[in-house]
Amino acid sequence: MRACGAAVAALAAAVTLGAPGAAAQEAAGGGWDLLIGHSYSSARALTQPATFVLEGERGAPLYTVLDAGALVRGSLADRAWLELGVRALAGSARTPAQRVYGAMGRAFAELDPVLVAIGGEYLADGGFDVRQPAATAELTPLGGGGAAGLGTWVSPRVHFRWRPWLGVSWGNGVRPYARLSAEYVSGRVEAGAEGTAWLVEGSGFGFAQGDLSVRLVGGLYATASGEAGCAPPRFEPSGRFGIGLGFRLDTTL
């Protein structure tokens, strides 16, 4: 699964089968919300708990993996809202080139029949040798009466939903991308997967990640997670799997 081309092919097939649509992200009510989870890249990534993992082998030191993000979200107007976030993919198990630090701001607006997001993002690797500032624009169908599970639970008893996005970033060139995510919740158990494919200077790159979490108490989870493919800003092959503790917070400021 380290081959970027294979990840792109698999993700392209998933997006084709999944289209059209995904749900709108839920806007904050009248105030501002603070969310802490795996990443701010999507609604799915934020619901995956922020994880801290210890990995080790006999005769070798323990390595750490930290995947975390924080997001502040508030209403701008009727059917429009703003998000500001930071994230980190770090830890000693990742080389400096594989670590990612980022910050972003984006505004959402429901323009029936689509949800549109316009924003800016800054990404850097662990040594800040590669830095990628970019403007972004993306959209997704609002759903409602469409395919089953399109942004909303399939039914009150079946908590499964999926949501694809199409977008483009302008920074070091123009980079179109597609993202598809899905999640399932049953009692204390949550599972999900998310994949993104980019077109960079005529070459395709893909990155996929998945997780299985069991809520222990409050916002504390036992989490198994894995990832594979090529992610920005370097788009170099990487992959890992680990088991650790996760934490998620969603509170009103």
Domains in the chain (CATH in brackets) are: 4-252 (2.40.160)
- Please state, as a whole number, how many other Cβ atoms lie within 10 Å of the Cβ of residue 169: 24
For range 36-49, the mean pLDDT: 74
Averaged pLDDT for residues 199-209: 93
Q: Which residue has the higher pLDDT, 59 or 226?
A: 226
Mean pLDDT for all residues in the chain = 82
Please give the pLDDT value at position 30: 62
Give the CA dihedral 12, 170, 161, 226, nearest 10 degrees. 70
Condensed to tens digits (0 to 9), the pLDDT of residues 97-108 reads: 889 999 999 999
223 class by beta-carbon count within 10 Å (0-12 exposed, 13-18 middle, 19+ buried): buried
Residues 178/169, Cβ–Cβ less than 8 Å: no
Collect contacts of 83-92 with beta carbons under 8 A, ≥24 apart.
Answer: 83/40, 83/107, 83/108, 83/119, 85/40, 86/40, 87/39, 87/40, 87/41, 89/39, 90/65, 90/66, 90/126, 91/53, 91/63, 91/64, 91/65, 91/66, 92/63, 92/64
What are the two backbone dihedrals, phi and then psi, of residue 243, each rounded to the nearest 5 degrees? -125, 130
Q: What is the pLDDT of residue 215?
A: 93
pLDDT band at 44 (very low <50, low <70, confident <90, very high): low
What is the reported pTM? 0.75
Residue 188 pLDDT more than 50? yes
122-175 per-position pLDDT tens digit: 999 988 988 889 999 999 887 666 788 887 889 999 999 988 899 999 987 899
Per-residue pLDDT for 208 more than 90?
Answer: yes
Q: Is the pLDDT of residue 225 over 60?
A: yes
pLDDT at 86: 94
pLDDT at 63 over 60: yes
